[in-house]
Amino acid sequence: MKTIISIITVLFFSAFSFAPDQSRLISGVVKDEAGFSLQGVNVHVKGSTQGAVTDRNGAYQIQVSSEAKYLEFSFIGYRTEVVKIARSNRINVTLKSSTMVLEDVVSMEYDAAMPPMVRDKTARETSMHVVGGNRHAKRAQVYASYAPEPGYIQHNTEGYTAIDENGFKDVFHNPLSTFSIDVDKASYSNVRRFLNMGQLPPVDAVRIEEMINYFNYNYPEPEGKHPFSVYTEISECPWNGSHRLLHVGLKGKSIDKSELPPSNLVFLIDVSGSMGAANKLPLLKQAFRMLVNELRPEDRVAIVVYAGAAGLVLESTPGTKKAEILAALEQLQSGGSTAGGAGLKLAYKVAQENFKEEGNNRIILATDGDFNVGSSSNAEMERLIEQKREHGVFMTVLGFGMGNYKDDKMEIIADKGNGNYAYIDNIQEARKVFITEFGGTLFTIAKDVKFQIEFNPARVKGYRLVGYENRLLNDEDFNDDKKDAGEMGAGHTVTALYELIPAGSDEALKSIDPLKYQANGEKKAKTLKVEPDSKAELMTVKLRYKQPDGNTSTKVEIPVKGKVVKLNETSDNFRFSASIAEFGMILRNSQYKGDASMEQVIAMAKGARGEDEEGYRSEFMKLVKLADSLKEWSAEK
């Protein structure tokens, strides 16, 4: 009897020891029936938006909560598998192929240059589907859908622009800091994609300003004639106690959806062969369905696709005909090479033909960025976009997929095309871009917005702009209305952080030789009062912006005294943005990270989470913990 009681007791306590009261990291490998690894398989917790994607070795990692019961594995051309989450943290899955009937969208021309291992042998010529028979519609040559043969390995050719991290500037020699605002948010969701796949992101994929600006901040609404408000705050620097951290924020005017101007939208969709994976064209369709459902009767949409050539699939159609727009989307299939330049030219042409003088005229480009036909070089693409943007058509760029993802090209298109750039790694991100931030994504309230800050050497010895390396401007560019800069959308917030060395600090900065023809800065310094003085101005913030349809800028100038407050007395805005910056510096292994640590990042973020209705800030803390585990695992290897 005692033995039975002992066994029951052991089982009882064992059950509690295995109780899923904390999150777990599940990992595994997904293969096909032949034993080949499958890249791009969507893995998500059934009944939630939490997910991951397998890498080129078929491997995945996903953090699951105690409530999670099942994992769902889905991949185009294969049957979806639902697997119960048991006690083991290792779940390997074999997907079975399914028979699919792929519908052709446009006429197809056989391309002998297509790699035979990925060519669909059943390719055939059909008529392009054109709604309404618009006289401007052109037949397009693209390829019927194809999928790689089993065992075909796509090499990782992702492209990122190299980042040369900003260093400290001596205020005596460089009192001005000038840069273009950045409302792009692609870097954060792309970093999230890597982490959810169980990989640390490439260093150049980590753009700290985009990670900070992924989140909205509680800045005051603008008042008066300018379309945005300016917010500043200064405290001690969390990762370097002898420095200060300056927080500068902009808040764009919020506009109710019913008051937004009518839209003339052109969906420019990449249907080339590289878009065949489940996390590309299929996810793209899901994302655009959300946007179509948000359209109003006064809005219009046209659809242009490009692969071997570009073609108009749907003429400009009013928002009242959602069924027609959705039907055109549903027919899209992938196949062929990528004529990105031709697609852009046609999209601009269609946008101009349906231009709304008092409306929002915008191209929404959705692609993995793999331009390899026509205007393929970054320089060519940049010149094309600069030429077309002068006609009042703005640009939104949406990135999809992995493996051959070309972040560098998409960043150029968005920056040079008066637009913004987001990376869609899951359907939840699509909802954020098209639903939660609808106005900011699609409606510009100010263009060519430039920052220029003049620091007072009596308060600041040196400064370093955290991030924005690809947005720096020459000081003289601030007053040059021909110089392009970033755009701000309705309700958008833009945040910039500066790490400051206080005046009077003994810290040495990089020096220059004494000047021959004018007094050297160090000599001037002796005549200045450098002791901290809360009554003295810290800096002057200057901004320039143009109206969305204007060519002449307006200047805003705001002097800032900058009282230094204790870190624990700062706003949630300050501490949360600082935690993201610190996290980004750790991921980049920045030479300026000082005493940064994952523990401090989590502590600051947790204390500054505030109202987190959508759960984005909570998700950030989970990603930090995941990154911390991955860094430890990498170190052990």
Render pLDDT for 512-545 as a digit per residue (tens, 0 to 9). Answer: 777 677 665 555 555 554 565 667 899 999 999 9
| 183 in Cβ contact with 418 (< 8 Å) | no
| Per-residue model confidence (pLDDT) at position 166 | 97
Question: Coil, helix or strand for 572?
Answer: helix
CB count, 10 Å around CB of 387?
Answer: 12
Q: What is the pLDDT of residues 277-294, one digit of tens each?
A: 888 999 999 899 999 998
Tokens of 525: 């310094």
Report the DSSP pairing between strands 228-237 and 240-252. antiparallel
Q: Given CA atoms 455, 461, 466, 467 in this order, what sign does their dihedral have?
A: positive
Tens of pLDDT along 16-42? 444 444 688 899 999 887 777 887 788
* Predicted pLDDT at 12: 46
Give the sheet arrangement for strand 81-84, strand by strand: 51-53, 42-45, 70-74, 81-84
Is pLDDT of 79 > 50? yes
Between 636 and 609, the higher pLDDT residue = 609
Question: pLDDT: is 225 or 412 the higher one?
Answer: 225
CA pair distance 437, 473, nearest whole angstrom: 28
- Residues of the chain above pLDDT 70, percent: 81
Residue 100 has pLDDT above 50, yes or no: no
Q: What is the pLDDT of residue 110?
A: 26
- Given this model, what pLDDT does residue 54 score? 82
Tally: H helices and E strands in the chain: 14, 24
Return the structure tokens found at 245: 């951290």
Q: Assign 214 to helix, strand or coil.
A: coil
Confirm if 179 and 544 have CB atoms less than 8 A apart.
no
Mean of pLDDT values over 224-228: 91
Lowest mean pLDDT among 145-154, 357-366, 462-471: 145-154
Residue 239 is which amino acid?
A: W
Strands 486-489 and 539-546: unpaired
In 3D space, the residue among 92, 74, 75, 73 whose CA is nearest the CA of residue 26 turns out to be: 92
Whose CA is closest to 416, among 465, 381, 369? 381
Q: Are 316 and 349 in contact (CB under 8 A)?
A: no
Work out the pLDDT band at 598, boundaries 50, 70, 90. Answer: very high
Homologous superfamily in CATH for domain 257-442: von Willebrand factor, type A domain (3.40.50.410)
Residue spans of the domains in the chain: they are 21-95, 171-250+451-506+528-597, 257-442
pLDDT of residue 126: 28
The closest alpha carbon to 510, from 519, 501, 518, belongs to 501
> Is residue 83 a contact partner of residue 74, using CB atoms and an 8 Å limit?
no
Q: How far is it, in rounded angstroms, from Cα 267 to Cα 613?
A: 30
pLDDT at 187: 95
- At residue 532, the pLDDT reads 58
Q: Cα separation of 336 and 347, whole Å?
A: 19
Task: Say if residue 195's pLDDT is above 50.
Answer: yes
Question: Does domain 21-95 match CATH 2.60.40.4130?
Answer: yes
Arithmetic mean of pLDDT, 326-355: 86
Please tell me the predicted confidence (pLDDT) of residue 145: 30
Neighbours of 567 (CB within 10 A): 15
Is residue 373 scored above 70 in pLDDT?
no
Over residues 41-63, the mean pLDDT reads 81
pLDDT value at residue 376: 53
Q: How many CA atoms within 13 Å lie on the side-chain side of 381?
A: 25
Higher confidence at residue 66 or residue 572? 572
Q: Which of 294, 307, 305 is nearest to 331 (CA)?
A: 305
What mean pLDDT comes out for the span 582-593? 97
Instruction: Tell me the helix, strand and coil percentages in the chain, rounded to 5.
Output: 30, 25, 45
pLDDT at res. 147 = 37
CA atoms within 13 A on the CB side of 259: 6
Q: Give the tokens for residue 535.
A: 């009554």
pTM of the predicted protein model: 0.75
Whether the Cβ atoms of residue 420 and residue 183 lie closer than 8 Å to each other? yes
Q: Which two tokens stand for residue 431?
A: 């909802």
CA distances from 546 to 90, 388, 449 (A): 55, 18, 7
Structure tokens at 384: 């094309």
* In the predicted structure, residue 104 carries a pLDDT above the cut 70: no
